Amino acid sequence: MTKAYVALEDGRTIEARSRAPGRTRGELVFTTAYTGYEESLTDPSYEEQILTFSYPLIGNYGVREERFESDRVHPRGVVARDLTEDVAEWLAEEGVPAIDELDTRDLVTGIREEGAMQCGIAAGPDATAADAEAELDACKGMSEHTDIGSQVSIGEPVTYNPDGDGPRVALIDCGAKGSIASSLVERDAVVEKLPYDATVADVESVDPDVLFISNGPGDPENFEAAAALVEEYVGDVPLAGICLGQQVIANALGGQTEKMEFGHRGVNQPVRDLRSNKVVMTTQNHGYTVSEPGDLDVTQINVNDDTPEGLESDEMNVITRQYHPEANPGPHDTLGFFDDVLGMTSARTN
């Protein structure tokens, strides 16, 4: 067995088995999802993080590219109780260090009790505990990654469904999952995906019916360009956001955000709608949350901790969700969000 080591911010260094070699560092987080590992591993919101799977066996239905949410693996490293050969080989090909044969239950319990923590990993034939500890020493906190958007966003605008008859959506790509654009295109919207640092002039050039701020990694306060777009267009163009997008919109409209202790990551997060009192199950992946909604109304909350899951304003034509309504992976309870978004404006004929 080729050894691996993970050094934790709490002072522990744990021995494991190397499944994909390398040295890496990042914020150690966990997901409770037991399916959808391909979608999770290609989710840009995991940039600069080490993803721990709480479910013990990862990879039992192989690896299929059509399930990917982006064109690469985003976590800096992967930790599991047991990784199958398919997943281990995929991660090795992607150059993403991966380790298994360690007590992930203990890791997850530690994160729940002490919060998401920085860590370093060393895996492979020459790996030592000192290598992992050196990676930990070089690890930065998530808020210190001030330009993380540049790591996950497109460089040039991309148009999806250019001949569609629905509304034109300017999707600001702060690390957007592919299924967000797909969900809009399925409803015949024209999706103009723009870089995370798009300017007002960039948005004006596509003349959108809806401005949509995507999910993404890191601290929402570091996405200043997206917040500036919200400030520019609020009240003139309908606004929508998912995950990081909800946080960016709240910050821009007088609210505040804060880092969570260990975040919400998984496919079984219960959300209650305050108007209907209906509870739905949702897919989530975020480490920050809205602490003050500002000029927006809280319309949905997380059943477990009462954090805001939905913000709206009929007056300003704003609707956001903290969870992922596109449900890749996860339950399909909330797909109607995209109908609500497109319903904020009349269809546009191209």
Can you count the helices (H) and strands (E) in the chain? Answer: 10, 19
At 52 the three-state DSSP class reads strand
Annotated catalytic residue within 47, 69, 135, 326:
326
Q: Is 326 among the residues known to form the active site?
A: yes
List the catalytic residue out of 135, 145, 243, 264. 243
> Is 119 marked active-site?
no
Would you tell me how many other CB atoms lie within 10 Å of the CB of residue 72?
Answer: 12
Positive or negative: CA dihedral 313, 317, 322, 327: positive
Q: Return the structure tokens found at 197.
A: 């640092």
- The runs of H, that is alpha helices, within the chain are 37-41, 85-94, 104-114, 129-137, 149-152, 178-185, 200-206, 224-233, 244-252, 337-342
Phi and psi torsions of 327, nearest 5°? 55, 50
* Block residue for tokens 């998912």: 242
Name the residue type at position 174.
C
Query: Are 117 and 10 in contact, with CB atoms under 8 Å apart?
Result: yes
Question: Which of 283, 308, 307 minimizes the C-alpha distance to 297?
Answer: 308
Q: Has 324 been annotated as catalytic?
A: yes
Q: What is the dihedral of CA 98, 104, 109, 110, to 10 degrees?
A: -50
Compute CA distances 177 → 71, 110, 142, 148, 283, whole Å.
10, 29, 20, 15, 13
Angle between helices 224-233 and 244-252 (to 10 degrees): 60
**Catalytic positions, written as ranges:** 243, 324, 326
